[in-house]
Chain A
Amino acid sequence: MKYIDEYRKKDLILGIADEIRKISKKEIALMEVCGGHTMAIHRFGLHSFLPPTVSLLSGPGCPVCVSGQHFIDTAIAYCRQAGVILTTYGDLIRVPGSSSSLEKERAAGQDIRIVYSVLESLEIARKNPGSKVVFLGIGFETTAPLTAAAIAEASKLKLRNFHVLSAHKVMPPVMKALVKDGMKINGFIAPGHVTAITGTGIYKDLPEIFGLGVVVSGFEPVDMMQSILMLVRQLEAGKPGVEIQYQRVVQQQGNVKARKLLDTVFELKDDYWRGLGMIPLSGLKIRSEFSEFDIEKILPVDVAMAPEPKGCICGMILRGLKKPSDCKLFAGRCTPSDPVGACMVSGEGTCATYYKYRE
């Protein structure tokens, strides 16, 4: 097994689709939380295999999209400080801030380096003892443990010039916030790689309190179709629960080692989500024991909250209330090569996905 091709077989997809059609009676709406799922659905055209009773909505699971402008403005403020080397995942480089982007800053001569792994940032810090190396920590529970591991390493190696600007966020509070907000959904296609770290315990409330089905899904088309089938079965039987489709990667208890590291380095804080506002205990900040690695403690900057770009409805799209095609700027003024909002920049942003796979 190579764990890819087997999960893309057309006849298997069709077989599962038949089964879904056979048993689906109730009209249901399922939300795929993760941007990676949104991409898979569009790339493989999975909508076309589903009966009209099952509709899919895209959720807020694109870290670049929900962090938005203020984070970029803050990163820009840091890269303009003397002696700072800014390191970032490539996803962020083109996201527009309120008046600039990291790409523009780099063209203007700021030292901004794209890294594939946070470990490269550590290496840059080691090689440049005279500079402050700032890593932009972005991502959910899948990515945050990597940043935690890097901070723990920096602490061990006494690498005092390595720092993190954390915009890390956690998934469960936003999933609940959406439901409390009145979002009409019956179940979640839950993020596979987030859950590979956290385990399934984080979803306990969703069936118990909100009556929602939850299936933790892999990212290949067969995975997604099976997850939808599992949700349809749960909901037809009137027995919503938490199940794992992605058994080959996700264990009920998650990755205990990564969870521990995450807890050692980070603690929860109230955090701002684009389009959703403040959500209690939905973000991760660096614990005071590690504050020497927290750039916001070492070198505070004050960056005003700028309004969202005019006409951009990313916020509504992130809540599943609107589709990109409802935005007047979509595919005209706003395209991946000249994006207005973050949802058009990130490869897994809903607008970028719709753009790429539009008719």
Chain B
Amino acid sequence: MCLAIPAKVLSVDGPAARVLIGDTEYNASLLLIDDVKEGDYIMLHAGFAIQKVDEEEAIETMRLLNEVAGYGPES
């Protein structure tokens, strides 16, 4: 029920966006977040973007994980 899925923003039109998950396009309401632009990733939950996905944080987390898993800093 609290499921939210990462979706790529294709276009923004006022308080709404078209987003892409896999090969399927969806509408996403932007009533709950600001400053969304084309190319961003958002978390889509029941038709609403509830948060942006922070790419830098994601890369940093992956780097740390790869280190733990013994791949060294690069992967």
Cross-chain contact B43 with A12 (CB below 8 angstroms): no
Q: A259 — nearest CB in chain B belongs to which residue?
A: B32
Choice from B55, B57, B60, B70 contacting A15 with Cβ under 8 Å:
B70
A44 within 8 A of B: no
Which A residues from 1 to 47 make CB contacts under 8 A with B? 1-4, 6, 11-12, 14-16, 18-19, 34-36
Say whether chain B's binding surface is mostly helix, strand, loop, or mixed.
mixed
User: Complex Cα distance A140/B45, Å?
Assistant: 12
Cross-chain contact B2 with A140 (CB below 8 angstroms): yes
User: Complex Cα distance A348/B2, Å?
Assistant: 10
Which residues does chain B contribute within 8 Å of A61, judged by CB atoms?
2
User: Complex Cα distance A222/B65, Å?
Assistant: 9
Cross-chain contact A1 with B58 (CB below 8 angstroms): yes
Which residues does chain A contribute within 8 Å of B32, judged by CB atoms?
145-146, 149, 255, 257-258, 261
Q: How many A-B residue pairs have CB under 8 A?
A: 134
Which residues does chain A contribute within 8 Å of B62, judged by CB atoms?
6
Q: What total of chain A residues lie within 8 Å of the partner, measured CB to CB?
A: 56
Which residues does chain A contribute within 8 Å of B33, judged by CB atoms?
255, 257-258
User: Complex Cα distance A197/B57, Å?
Assistant: 18
A117 within 8 A of B: yes
A351 within 8 A of B: no
User: Complex Cα distance A77/B10, Å?
Assistant: 42
Cross-chain contact B68 with A143 (CB below 8 angstroms): no
Chain B residues with a Cβ under 8 A of chain A: 1-4, 6, 29, 31-34, 41, 43, 45-48, 50-51, 53-55, 57-62, 65-66, 68-71
